[in-house]
Chain A
Amino acid sequence: MRTNIPQLRKARKLSQQELADAVGITRQTITSIEVGRYTASLELAYKIARYFGLTIEEVFDFSELEE
């Protein structure tokens, strides 16, 4: 699944480690989500979206699921 996390992080000058610490996961998991190798659970997606102050749809691209 594609995500806007790299762009959102860069806009806020946030490292992967800082985001990982904020949502309580490892940096490797953030990397995997960013490159689309791992799809975050609903709970984690919610935590990440809430951290950025956005909705889940604004952070994660669900267009592949809609096809």
Chain B
Amino acid sequence: MFIKELFACKTANVEEYRRLVQGRQRLLRALCALGVLAELAAFFAVPRLVAAGAHGEFCKGFYTGVGLALIVCGIVGERRLAALLRNEEKLKQARCRDKDERLQEINRRAQLAAGLATLAVLYGVMLAGGLVSFELLVFSAAVVLVFFVSFIAFHCYYERRL
């Protein structure tokens, strides 16, 4: 419900949209906190839990990179939204862009295409990667299965809603 409200496109007025943007700001702060957790994991958990060597160094670098990316994205996004909240005219323009039905349709189609492309890549990895790694085969098959099960579940949900 909380996430649904954060990404709701229809707001009755600018004040309602302002509250929506404030909710998004909180989400970005949470993203920063997740980044900090990833950094802590990189410096304290990874050296203890992952074996040393090339694999351990890669894991440490991966966690550090992801954590840093989350922190930077969170801070930049939060600052941008704060600037938006200070400028009434820009807030109105942002609301206009958010509720623009053509932009929503573009997002919907892009998400659909990206989802299908991801599925196609995973299917390829499952077939080709399965020949060399059993774990890869199981992981790819599990993700493809999760996609189809969640698709059927959401399809049933929206069939009742619309």
A residues engaging B (CB < 8 A)?
20-21, 24-26, 28-29, 32, 38, 40-41, 43-44
* B96 sits at the interface (CB 8 A): yes
Number of A-B contacts defined by CB within 8 Å: 26
* B99 sits at the interface (CB 8 A): yes
What is the interface of chain B mostly: helix, strand, loop, or mixed?
A: helix
Q: What residues of chain A lie closer than 8 Å to B103, measured between beta carbons?
A: 26, 29
The distance in angstroms between the C-alpha atoms of A21 and B92, with both chains bound, is 10
The distance in angstroms between the C-alpha atoms of A9 and B96, with both chains bound, is 20
The distance in angstroms between the C-alpha atoms of A21 and B100, with both chains bound, is 11
Pairwise interchain contact A29-B102, C-beta atoms closer than 8 A = yes
Q: What residues of chain B lie closer than 8 Å to A32, measured between beta carbons?
A: 102
Q: B102 → chain A, closest Cβ, in Å? A: 4
Chain B residue nearest to A32 (CB atoms) is B102
* B101 sits at the interface (CB 8 A): yes
